[in-house]
């Protein structure tokens, strides 16, 4: 495949995703509201919503496009995986010698957890970890994760970092599940005097994160291959533990382990602030979100959304627990968007 065909195909996928987001989703919601208004009892559960619209042509087309646009994005003739793997040597050339650098720590014998190996997350062939080009594939794919943001995909992460900064300037930061460093970059740029560690299970992702940080002359940040559920850091080492889009990828027992680990790692008065998908305003949004999780190969989206996270954190001993919706961009209605958006939520707590 040539570069131009790849770029055109990916652009078409993104434009179709925008149509899906801004036209199909509102039409589906309107149809649902109409049907709900005619039903004897208002829908109470996800199954009630499925009963009303699950069999309609509109919903079938909506669901098919969501599943298969994502599949086309990663696989097939113009997919991200074959594109990068065919050009493997070119993509990997700049990373030569990276493993000798001080800002990178990867383990060739790293034992990946079973939940992580079992699913091709996001329909990414081999997940975000098994191909050595996976970091580049994920970076390219992430440019259209939030289709309404027109490629300004750092905006969300910067706004999240700004929100964290409102609570004070941290000096020792851990970014858990950092991927290729998209969530870490605004932290190391905003908190230049802080020491920052970014960890992820994926070696190709942390390698790309470390490379990007070096290119940006960031001297305060280290990328390491490590699980957020079990780290090698000392007790009370950090005053800020954060993550972006990590939690929904963890099975519930691992979510609890990650919270326990965060509590152990934080100093007294230290903060844990996570950005993820959680708060759903109504049962229609819940139905759409659970379907999104299934169609995107994200099996833990649903149990995570069902978790009473505020109670879990209070029981673990955190204080000042808040769980609040977060707007994807300036001026966007975080709770009742007229177009499809992720249910962004900030989960924040303090170690007593
Ligand atoms: C959706 S990505 C988010 C990446 C980044 N935080 C961002 O906002 O772009 C989730 C990341 O979590 C990582 N991950 C999944 N389970 C993990 C675990 N137990 N420990 C550390 N990272 C994990 C995945 O490898 C993936 O890179």
- One-character DSSP codes across 277-294: E---SSHHHHHHHHHHHH
Q: Identify which of 18, 17, 22, 27 has the alpha carbon closest to the alpha carbon of residue 58.
A: 27
What is the pLDDT at residue 153? Answer: 46
Catalogue all structural domains in the chain, each as residue range(s) with its CATH number: 150-350 (3.40.50.150)
In whole angstroms, give the CA distance from residue 5 to residue 14: 14
How many angstroms separate the alpha carbon of residue 50 from the centre of ligand 1? 31
How many angstroms separate the alpha carbon of residue 94 from the centre of ligand 1? 23
- Stretches where the chain sits below pLDDT 50 are 153-154
Query: Helical H runs in the chain?
Result: 3-19, 25-38, 46-53, 57-74, 80-86, 88-92, 114-118, 134-142, 154-166, 184-190, 203-215, 252-265, 283-295, 301-306, 309-316
Specify which residues 176 forms β-bridges with. Answer: 199, 243
What is the pLDDT at residue 328? Answer: 86
The helix (run of H) or strand (run of E) holding residue 174 is strand 172-176
Identify the residue whose C-alpha is closest to ligand 1 atom 3.
Answer: 245
Please enumerate in sequence order all residues whose Cβ is within 8 A of that of 242, keeping only pairs 6 or more positions apart, or say none: 164, 173, 174, 175, 176, 183, 187, 272, 273, 274, 275
Q: Tokens 């958006």 belong to which residue?
A: 341
Given CA atoms 191, 192, 194, 198 in this order, what sign does their dihedral have?
Answer: positive
The residues lining ligand 1, judged by C-beta closer than 6 Å to any ligand atom, are: 116, 128-129, 176-179, 182-183, 199-202, 205, 227-229, 244-246, 249-250, 254
What is the pLDDT at residue 119? Answer: 96
The pTM score is 0.96
Q: Are 24 and 62 contacting, i.e. CB atoms less than 8 angstroms apart? A: yes
Phi, psi of 227 (to 5 degrees): -85, 140
Q: Are 65 and 24 contacting, i.e. CB atoms less than 8 angstroms apart? A: yes
Query: Helical H runs in 93-177?
Result: 114-118, 134-142, 154-166
Per-residue pLDDT tens for 222-273?
Answer: 999 999 999 999 999 999 999 999 999 999 999 999 999 999 999 999 999 9
Q: Tokens 């007229």 belong to which residue?
A: 338
Closest atom of ligand 1 to CA, residue 129: 25
CA dihedral 19, 24, 25, 28 (to 10 degrees): 180
Pocket mutation for ligand 1, best pick of 118, 249, 258 (most atoms within 8 Å of C-beta): 249
Supply the angle between the helices 283-295 and 46-53 in degrees, to the nearest 10. 80
Identify the residue whose C-alpha is closest to ligand 1 atom 10.
Answer: 246
Closest atom of ligand 1 to CA, residue 228: 20
């Amino acid at each position: 495949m040539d570069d131009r065909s790849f770029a055109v195909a990916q652009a078409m996928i993104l434009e179709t995703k925008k149509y899906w987001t801004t036209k199909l989703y509102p039409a589906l919601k309107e149809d649902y509201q109409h049907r709900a208004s005619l039903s004897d009892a208002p829908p109470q559960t996800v199954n009630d919503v499925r009963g009303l619209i699950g069999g309609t042509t509109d919903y079938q087309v909506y669901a098919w496009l969501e599943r298969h646009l994502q599949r086309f994005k990663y696989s097939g003739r113009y997919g991200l995986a074959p594109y990068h793997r065919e050009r493997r040597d070119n993509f990997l050339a700049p990373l030569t010698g990276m493993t000798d650098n001080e800002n990178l720590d990867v383990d060739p014998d790293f034992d990946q957890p079973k939940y992580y190996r079992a699913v091709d997350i996001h329909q990414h062939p081999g997940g975000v970890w098994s191909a050595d080009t996976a970091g580049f594939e994920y970076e390219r794919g992430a440019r259209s994760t939030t289709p309404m943001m027109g490629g300004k995909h750092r905006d969300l992460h910067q706004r999240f970092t700004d929100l964290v900064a409102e609570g004070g300037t941290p000096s020792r930061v851990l970014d858990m599940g950092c991927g290729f460093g998209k969530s870490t970059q605004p932290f190391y740029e905003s908190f230049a005097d802080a020491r920052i560690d970014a960890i992820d299970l994926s070696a190709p992702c942390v390698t790309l994160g470390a490379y990007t940080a070096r290119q940006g002359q960031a001297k305060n940040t280290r990328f390491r291959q490590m699980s957020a559920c079990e780290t090698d850091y000392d007790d009370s080492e950090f005053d800020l533990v954060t993550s972006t889009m990590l939690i929904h990828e963890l099975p519930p027992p691992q979510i609890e382990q990650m919270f326990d680990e965060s509590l152990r790692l934080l100093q007294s008065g230290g903060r844990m602030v996570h950005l993820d998908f959680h708060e759903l305003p109504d049962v229609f949004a819940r139905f759409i979100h659970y379907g999104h999780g299934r169609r995107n190969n994200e099996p833990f989206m649903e149990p995570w959304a069902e978790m009473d996270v505020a109670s879990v954190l209070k029981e673990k001993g955190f204080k000042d627990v808040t769980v609040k919706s977060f707007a994807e961009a300036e001026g966007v209605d975080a709770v009742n968007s007229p177009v499809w958006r992720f249910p962004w939520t900030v989960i924040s707590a303090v170690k007593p």
